[in-house]
Each structure stands twice: as C-alpha cells, then as structure tokens.
C-alpha cells in the first residue's frame, strides 16, 4: 500500500488498499471488528475516498480475500443462492466443534478455516459446475462497488490460504479463540494429507508439515462433491481469477484491474500477478528480477514484485532506491511500504521521482507491448537471449533484460555499485536513453557502465527500431493528455527502422475477446534512409486502424509521409507527430 503522504510527490496511478487504510480519522471504520469482512455494507468513508482519488486522476484497487465469514450477511446470501463451497466429503467427517457454533452452518458440510476475520471463514468453490458461485460472486462485487466506486480487485490469500490448520497457526493473524481446522492425519483418510511420498515443499518446510499445512484438508471435495481438493487445489486461484474478471466487468462496465497472488497456466489471459514473499533484502531484489522474466515465459506478462519503499537508514536508502529503479520497468509496479508514515529524505525522493517519470514517459511503448501480447501472445519484459538466441554471451545474463525487442536495461542489483557489468550484443547498434548521455552511440560487447545511485540504470535503445513516448505527468490520466513523440534509432547497416503504437481509451472492455470489434488505434512507423548520404530520409506513418479521438485528424486510408532534411545523427527524435506539427528539420 502506498502511504497517502507520499502521493503528491510521485508519479502514481493506482492506490492499492485494504480495510486497515480506513482507520485514520477522515475515513474511520465504525466497528473495528469488521476490519476484514470484504462484503460488509458499512465501510463509511470508503466511497468518499474513492471520489477523492478519482478527482486527482488516481484509481482505487481493493485487496479482497476469497473467504467469507461464517454468519455474515454475505454468507447468508450465499446459502440462500445455493452457492458451492469446499466441503467435507461425508457428514461424519464434519468438524462439529466448528460448524455447530455457527447457526447458519449447523446443517452443512462446509469446511471452515481461519482467515483475517475474527470468526471462522468458508471457502467458495469457483469450480462449481452450476456456476452459482460465480453468479453470487458477481453480485457481491457489484454490491461492494456501490459502497466504494473502486476500479480493480487485488486477489490475496487465494492459494487458498488457511491461517490455522492442525497445530500450525500464522503468528501475525493468530486467532487463539478459534478452533483450527483438524485434518485426518492418521487412519483410513490420512493418505490424502500424508501420502507415502511427501512433496518437496513438505521437506523444505520441515517434517512436521503435511500437505494441508496453511491450507485446507486434501480430502475435501470441490465441484459439488465430484472432485477432490487434492486434485483441484492448484486451480483455486485461476478459477477465482476468472470469476473476478467477469465480476469486475459486470460491476464497473470497464476493463478493471485484476491481480492474483495465486496463478496457473492461462492466468495471464485474465489477470496479472504480483510476486509476494519478498522481505526487502538484496537477495529478494535479484530473485524477483528472475521471477518476472520467468512469469513472462509462463504467459503472464503483467507481473511485478513488491517494490519495497521502507527507507530509514543509509543502507536501507540504497536498497530502496535500487528497488525503485528496477520497479520502474516492471509491468506491475507496486510500492509496498506498509503503514510507515515517515517522509522520505530528499535523496531518496528525487531518485524515486526520476525513475518513475522515466517509466511514465515511455508508457505508450510499454502499453503497445502489452496490447500486442494480449492479441498475439508473447512476453513484455524478456530475457536478452529471447532477442539474440544465437549469441551465447546472452544465455546467462540473468540480471539484465529487454523491454520488448527495442530497449535494453542493465540494473544495479548489488550494494555499493557505482558501475555495472553489462553486455550489449554486437549484432546490433545501441543508443543511450539516459538524460546525461541521451542519444549517444554505445559500442557493443562486454563493458562497465556508470550506475551511480543518483542516476537511472543504464538504458539503451536498439538501432533499427522506432518507439513512442509522451511527456510524463504525475498520473497516467494527465500523461495521456500530452502529445506523443517517437524516437527513431537508425541502423548503420542500412536497415529501415520500424515500430508501432497501439492506443485506446484504457477503460473499454474487449467484448468476447474480439479485438476486431474493439475501438483502438494502431499506427505503424517506418523510415527509408536509402538516401542517407544525401542527408534525406522519408518517414512514413501508416494508420491501420483509427478509433481514438486524438487521432481523428487522420483517416484510416491515409499515410503521413515527411521528408526530413538537414544535419542529423543516427539517432532522431520527432516530436508531436500526432498533432500535425512534425518538424521539417531534426
């Protein structure tokens, strides 16, 4: 969660928050015991908070757990609508000491666990073949949207996580007054939780652990008693993600953000993922960078780690800045500073501002990468060897990466670095995008690059490419109002540079995943510099589809051609081309 005290100083788009954010005076929760009921109707001040954010061009994403508290109004509505829950397979196995204390659950086989609520919680079964669970979830999300005009949902604890199973309890959320879930660990039904051959995770976390540790009993049933939880557990996050994406579109009539902690193959079609479990160490910074590249390989390009921003010492300041610099290039860049309210020192604040303004400046390029990945598949932040598979020097460059096919980033990921070792493939030519050496030609091969704490990490643009950008502002809402620019990186070998730009309103739902019917604009860029020796090149902008008002000056059939004359280097910048003010000379 980004502390609101810092919002006015940094480029920020979305505020991610849970119930604890509303304990401050101006957005006070009237009953503290309701702090973790996701679908309560009494979150006083939440809608006012959403309105305040929207007025400032920000959006609001709520953190939502999948569980529903026993005896809550949402639980009662679920029972009335015959919603499917994860259940005990037989009545005689039901944990009566739990079910009997909750009046609504006495006659059910629902399996209860412990969540962040003060009472036991049930786990909706999103694999319900009757789709009643999804229908109920859609209604609950829409009702919550009436309470707070939020824009997205952040799915947490959906492995699913149970904070009390057998003798294992989560220390932070220990509810000693609640009986833990007790799974059969001996006898005829024990083989689900204690199989003959334990999993690697059981060995990793200790021999006293079993498969149900921190989750539900493996013998539980899903899909209306047709399948075992043992077989479907890994699908829980995916099934909830699909239901939530449908619910967000239904509740907001917009393409709202959905991010899930638990994922499975194909999750990237419905949601993004954040890499949890990092605790603010240099090791976590490095491993998160590897994980982000891996998740792009898994088909989940909208991904990022927690960007740790707890900066309260010289050592922490350095790590904080390096994490911010890396986070600026993550598709999902989430600041994670808990409830720490201390202001940043000026050095940290300026470094964070510098990194994020660079991110916002190149969002049109990043947005185009994601648009392309949504339509055709593929990665956004990718390993270097994806672009240069025949160059063996790229095969073990784990800590530098590509932004699409055009931009190379070499971040600092170790303490005390003033330079970083990097490799620029010699099969291409490269230009620096950092302000201090902007547009300078950089030689390929292994070399050391400047990486002081007060400057951006080394960022390079590959020759033969054309990318788009905008003058940045403090929100994407404001940035989108600015004219576009393109940067043309010529290739010294005579190859014509090319690129593209995808753009839409950022909100409209792609109905039935049919991009042919979706209102978006697509431009392709190309430059012919065959007459390079005569200092004359021809830039061609071709609209393949125009559906955004800011591009209405050009129709679908026309091309914009401009001959650029005069003295120029290999690296060109053409500003404001979409406002018909293409300069005659660069």
Dump pLDDT digits (tens) for 185-198.
999 999 999 888 87
Q: What is the pLDDT of residue 171?
A: 53
562-574 pLDDT, tens digit each: 544 433 344 555 4
* Residue 88 pLDDT exceeds 90: yes
Q: What is the pLDDT of residue 549?
A: 52
Q: What pLDDT does 309 receive?
A: 59
What pLDDT is stored for residue 280 in this prediction?
77
Residue 339: its pLDDT value, please? 53
* pTM greater than 0.85: yes
Greatest mean pLDDT among 130-134, 164-168, 547-551 lies in 130-134
How does residue 576 score in pLDDT terms, banded at 50, 70 and 90? very low
Q: What is the pLDDT of residues 302-352, one digit of tens each?
A: 999 888 756 555 557 888 889 989 999 999 988 776 555 566 678 778 888
pLDDT reading at 499 higher than 80: yes
Q: Rounded CA gap, 460 and 424, in Å? A: 9
| Model confidence at 28: pLDDT above 70 | no
CATH number for the 54-270 domain, one of 3.20.20.80, 3.60.110.10, 3.30.43.10, 3.90.700.10? 3.20.20.80
What is the pLDDT at residue 6?
29
Burial of 560 (0-12, 13-18, 19+ CB in 10 A): middle
For 477, counting Cβ atoms within 10 Å of its Cβ (0-12 exposed, 13-18 middle, 19+ buried), the class is middle
Using one digit for the tens of pLDDT, what is the confidence trace for 105-140? 999 999 999 998 889 999 999 999 999 999 999 999
Per-residue pLDDT of 433-483, as tens digits, reads 998 899 889 989 999 999 999 899 999 999 989 999 999 988 888 988 888
- Per cent of the chain over pLDDT 90 is 54
Look at residue 34 and tell me whether its pLDDT is greater than 60. Answer: no
pLDDT of amino acid 32: 32
Distances (CA, A) of 497 to 37, 81, 490: 54, 59, 6
Mean pLDDT of the chain: 82
Residue 186: CB partners within 8 Å, gap ≥ 6?
A: none
pLDDT exceeds 70 at position 37: no
Question: For residue 545, is pLDDT > 90?
Answer: no
> Would you say the CATH fold of 466-573 matches that of 54-270?
no
Domain 371-462 = CATH 1.10.3720.10: no
User: Is residue 209's pLDDT more than 60?
Assistant: yes
Q: Is 385 helix (H, G, I), strand (E, B) or coil?
A: helix
The mean per-residue pLDDT over the stretch 226-236 comes to 97
Homologous superfamily assigned to 466-573:
Golgi alpha-mannosidase II (2.60.40.1180)
Q: Residue 50's pLDDT is what?
A: 92
pLDDT value for 13 = 58
Long-range contacts, 515-520 (Cβ 8 Å, 24+): 515/374, 515/375, 519/547, 519/548, 520/371, 520/545, 520/547, 520/548
- pLDDT tops 80 at residue 543: no
What pLDDT does 264 receive? 95
pLDDT at 494: 61
| Nearest to 459, CA basis, from 355, 331, 311 | 355
| pLDDT at residue 268 in the model | 95
pLDDT mean over 409-430: 95
Q: What is the pLDDT of residues 240-279, one digit of tens each?
A: 999 999 999 999 999 999 999 999 999 999 999 988 877 7
Q: Which residues are CB-neighbours of 290 under 8 A, at least 6 positions away?
A: 398
Strand positions, DSSP E, 132-230? 152-155, 164-165, 168-169, 221-222, 227-228
The pLDDT score that the predictor gives to residue 447 is 94
Domain residue spans of the chain: 54-270, 371-462, 466-573
* pLDDT at res. 561: 52
Calculate the CA 79 to chain-centre distance: 33
Task: Kindly state the tokens that stand for 17.
Answer: 């928050």
Between 333 and 552, the more confident residue is 333
Contact 435, 457 (CB under 8 A): no
Residues paired with residue 120 on neighbouring β-strands, in sequence order: 114
């Amino acid at each position: 969660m980004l502390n609101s005290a810092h919002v006015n100083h940094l480029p920020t788009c979305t505020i991610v928050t849970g119930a604890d954010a509303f304990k401050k005076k101006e957005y006070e929760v009237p009953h503290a015991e309701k702090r973790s009921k996701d679908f309560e109707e009494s979150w006083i001040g939440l809608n006012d908070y959403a309105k305040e954010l929207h007025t400032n061009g920000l959006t609001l994403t709520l953190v939502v757990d999948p569980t529903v508290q026993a005896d809550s109004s949402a639980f009662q509505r679920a029972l009335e609508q015959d919603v499917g829950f994860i259940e005990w397979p037989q009545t005689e196995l039901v944990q009566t000491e739990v079910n009997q204390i909750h009046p609504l659950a006495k006659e059910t086989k629902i399996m209860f666990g412990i969540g962040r609520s003060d009472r036991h919680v049930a786990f909706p079964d999103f694999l319900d073949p009757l789709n009643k669970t999804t229908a109920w979830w859609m209604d609950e999300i829409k009702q919550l949207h009436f309470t707070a005009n939020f824009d997205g949902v952040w799915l947490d604890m959906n492995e699913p996580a149970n904070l009390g199973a057998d003798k294992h309890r989560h220390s932070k959320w220990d509810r000693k007054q609640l009986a833990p879930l007790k799974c059969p660990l001996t006898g005829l039904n024990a083989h689900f939780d204690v199989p003959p051959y334990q999993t690697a995770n059981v060995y990793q976390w200790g021999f006293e652990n079993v498969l149900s540790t921190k989750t539900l009993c493996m013998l539980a049933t899903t899909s209306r008693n047709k399948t075992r939880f043992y077989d479907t557990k890994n699908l829980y996050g995916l099934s909830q993600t699909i239901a939530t994406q449908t619910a967000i579109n239904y509740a907001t009539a917009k393409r709202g953000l959905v991010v899930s902690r638990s994922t499975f193959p194909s999750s990237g079609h419905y949601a993004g993922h954040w890499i949890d479990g990092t605790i603010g160490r240099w090791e976590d910074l490095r491993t998160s960078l590897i994980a982000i590249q891996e998740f792009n390989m898994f088909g989940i390009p909208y991904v990022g780690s927690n960007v740790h921003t707890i900066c309260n010492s010289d050592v922490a300041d350095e790590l904080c800045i390096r994490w911010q610099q890396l986070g600026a290039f993550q598709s999902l860049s989430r600041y994670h500073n808990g409830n720490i309210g201390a202001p940043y020192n000026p050095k940290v604040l300026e470094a964070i501002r510098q990194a994020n303004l660079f991110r916002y400046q190149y969002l049109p390029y990043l947005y185009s990468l994601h648009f392309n990945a949504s339509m055709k598949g593929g990665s956004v932040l990718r390993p270097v060897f994806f672009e240069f598979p025949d160059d063996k020097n790229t095969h073990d460059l784990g800590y530098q990466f590509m932004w699409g096919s055009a931009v190379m980033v070499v971040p600092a990921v170790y303490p005390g670095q003033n330079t970083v070792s990097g490799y620029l493939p010699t099969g291409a030519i490269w230009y620096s995008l950092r302000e201090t050496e902007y547009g300078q030609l950089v030689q390929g091969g292994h070399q050391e690059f400047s990486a002081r704490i007060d400057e951006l990490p080394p960022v390079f643009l590959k020759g033969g490419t054309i990318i788009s950008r905008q003058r940045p502002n403090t929100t994407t809402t404001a940035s989108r109002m600015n004219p576009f620019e393109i940067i043309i990186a010529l290739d010294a070998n005579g190859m014509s540079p090319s690129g593209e730009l995808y753009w839409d309103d950022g909100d409209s739902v792609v109905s039935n995943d049919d991009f042919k019917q979706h209102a978006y604009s697509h431009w392709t860029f190309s430059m012919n510099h065959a007459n390079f020796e005569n200092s004359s090149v021809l830039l061609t902008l071709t609209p393949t589809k125009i559906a955004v008002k800011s591009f209405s000056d050009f129709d679908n059939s026309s091309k914009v051609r401009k001959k650029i004359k005069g003295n120029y280097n290999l690296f060109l910048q053409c500003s404001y081309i979409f406002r018909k003010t293409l300069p005659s000379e660069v």
